[in-house]
Structure 1
Amino acid sequence: MSAQTLGPWRAALIAVEHHWTWYRRNWRATVISNFLQPVLFLLAMGVGFGSQVRQGEATGGHPYLVFLAPALLVITAAQNAMFESTWAVFSSFKWQRTYLAVVSTPITPAQVLHGQLLWIALRLASGTAAFLGIAYALGAITSPSAVLAVPFATLAGMAFSAPVVAYAATREKPDSFNAIFRFLVMPMTLFTGGFFPLSQLPGWVHPLAWLTPVWHGIELARGATFGTLRLLPALGHVAYLSALVALGVALGRRYFRRRLAV
């Protein structure tokens, strides 16, 4: 049976089934990073620190907890994407060698990549949906349109994930992953308008923030939550994030084929 007889979707779903089989037995290991940590952060910053922040122009006229929640949704998606796209991918190449086993079947290297990215997208979507539900229960989300923040946060996370997965496919050692967290993820977390308006930072920082998927995701999530989303800017944000995903997929297909094709 040739690889083509599986079809791209069936092959990707088989890969997702593999990840799900592992996850349903080991999900407890991800509870803290995926669910508990973001909720505690929302409580600490939104309720604790937020009690000292006056509702006004800086928060768009909203209480700080409400201002923070949609941004933290996107930030959490980006941070989770970081972990799902680095050590997990590297392990499948070097330590567990799962990918090598998979390509010995009719599944191709490109289909392995597609399955990995689809699994990451499902993880991000489920995690952000759960966080949104908890934020709603805490009173941080009040608008029904906030449900759109889930796909927007997932897209922003994938715009970060896809290029990082491609990068991970080129690594022989995982040493550089810590640098990604320190010099990409942390600045994206702190300096893209999540915790305070971007206008409070020096002007030269703004273009750097605009390049990050987190800033675009925050703009979309806040716009959806507060009902201020405008069509043309939203299409621009979505187009930019989609372009980053497409770039990551193109590079990933190349590097996975180089690494796995025999």
Structure 2
Amino acid sequence: MTRAVFEYHLVSYRRVWRGSVLSSFVLPLLTMVGFGVGVGAYVTGGVEGVPYLDWMVPGLIASTAMQIAIGESTWPVLGGFEWRRIYFGQSAAPLRVADILDGHLAFAVFRTLTSCGAFLLVAAAFGTTHSWWALAILPIAGLVGLAVATPTFAYASTIRTDSYLAVLFRLGVIPMSLFSGVFFPVESLPGALRWIAYALPLWHGVDLSRAATLGVAPAWSPAGHVLYLALWAGVGWLLAYRQFARRLVV
């Protein structure tokens, strides 16, 4: 039954996919030209012996995975409870709470993978991938997406107005995007901020993605990164399931 919920979201997406396809290619292109070529021209010598554009692109892909997943887990989830109320209609059908939650999560991961796949194609066209391990970016992006989507599902299902989503973006998404090693090494941060960056899921995705595209070993153990992201996803899923059950099961 999870598949039926996933198909519902795919059918809805079919009406608007053209606009997202355009942005999936144009935004990576503009981002890489603006930050990689523009800003990179001022970073003489590159970063860690790598040209700045090549060093930054895998971080941008991981950041894109985070942003797309959170975008699909905020207003759509809040709307499913408060505005469109599709979750209540689905719960009236022979669907379990887990089916409703997992089907929507599957769609969020699908959107993450397609957007990051487009970004990877643009990155390859710029010659910023140096290893066939770059293909591993897609499962990494999917795991990053799941790690941030599940706790965001839990948060979005507890609120009643989108004013609280602005708080999430200002205090969570924007700082995580800026201080997780996407634009500069985390090691340049002060000690306390560095450990906060390590605690957030995005840095783990950035480190894995950068190792994959450059063909080098990550700063931490790959298994440790994967397990930590899986922990975020698992705990977030439990919290989201509990809140979905609380609101949908009378």
State the TM bucket, normalised to the shorter chain. over 0.9
- Would you say 1:15 and 2:21 are equivalent positions? no
| Distance (Å, rounded) in 2 between the aligned partners of 1:178 and 1:16 | 27
| Distance (Å, rounded) in 2 between the aligned partners of 1:48 and 1:217 | 25
Task: Classify the secondary structure of the residue corresponding to 2:109.
Answer: helix
Give the aligned partner of residue 120 of structure 2. Answer: 132
Distance 1:163 1:35, change over 3 A: farther
Is contact 2:179–2:186 with CA below 8 Å preserved after alignment?
yes
Is contact 1:33–1:80 with CA below 8 Å preserved after alignment?
no
Is contact 2:69–2:145 with CA below 8 Å preserved after alignment?
yes
In percent, how many aligned pairs have the same letter?
A: 39
Q: Where does the alignment leave 5 or more consecutive residues of structure 1 unmatched?
A: 1-10
Distance 1:119 1:63, change over 3 A: same
Give the aligned partner of residue 59 of structure 2. Answer: 71
Following TM superposition, by how much is the alpha carbon of 1:122 offset from its aligned partner in structure 2, in angstroms?
1.0
- Would you say 1:116 and 2:95 are equivalent positions? no
Following TM superposition, by how much is the alpha carbon of 1:113 offset from its aligned partner in structure 2, in angstroms?
0.3
| Distance (Å, rounded) in 1 between the aligned partners of 2:57 and 2:220 | 24
| Distance (Å, rounded) in 2 between the aligned partners of 1:260 and 1:34 | 34
Amino acid paired to 2:76 = A
With normalisation by structure 1, the TM-score equals 0.91
- Would you say 1:241 and 2:229 are equivalent positions? yes
Counterparts of residues 196-211 of structure 1 (less than 5 Å): 196-211=184-199
Is contact 2:208–2:218 with CA below 8 Å preserved after alignment?
no
| Distance (Å, rounded) in 1 between the aligned partners of 2:215 and 2:16 | 38
Amino acid paired to 1:36 = V
Q: Which of 31, 36, 53 is 1:41 aligned to?
A: 31
Give the aligned partner of residue 28 of structure 1. Answer: 18
- Would you say 1:90 and 2:78 are equivalent positions? yes
| Distance (Å, rounded) in 2 between the aligned partners of 1:26 and 1:84 | 14
Following TM superposition, by how much is the alpha carbon of 1:230 offset from its aligned partner in structure 2, in angstroms?
5.7
Task: Classify the secondary structure of the residue corresponding to 1:153.
Answer: helix
| Distance (Å, rounded) in 1 between the aligned partners of 2:151 and 2:204 | 16
Q: Where does the alignment leave 5 or more consecutive residues of structure 2 unmatched?
A: none
Is contact 1:38–1:76 with CA below 8 Å preserved after alignment?
no
Is contact 1:74–1:154 with CA below 8 Å preserved after alignment?
no
Amino acid paired to 2:200 = T
Task: Classify the secondary structure of the residue corresponding to 1:25.
Answer: coil
Task: Classify the secondary structure of the residue corresponding to 2:94.
Answer: coil
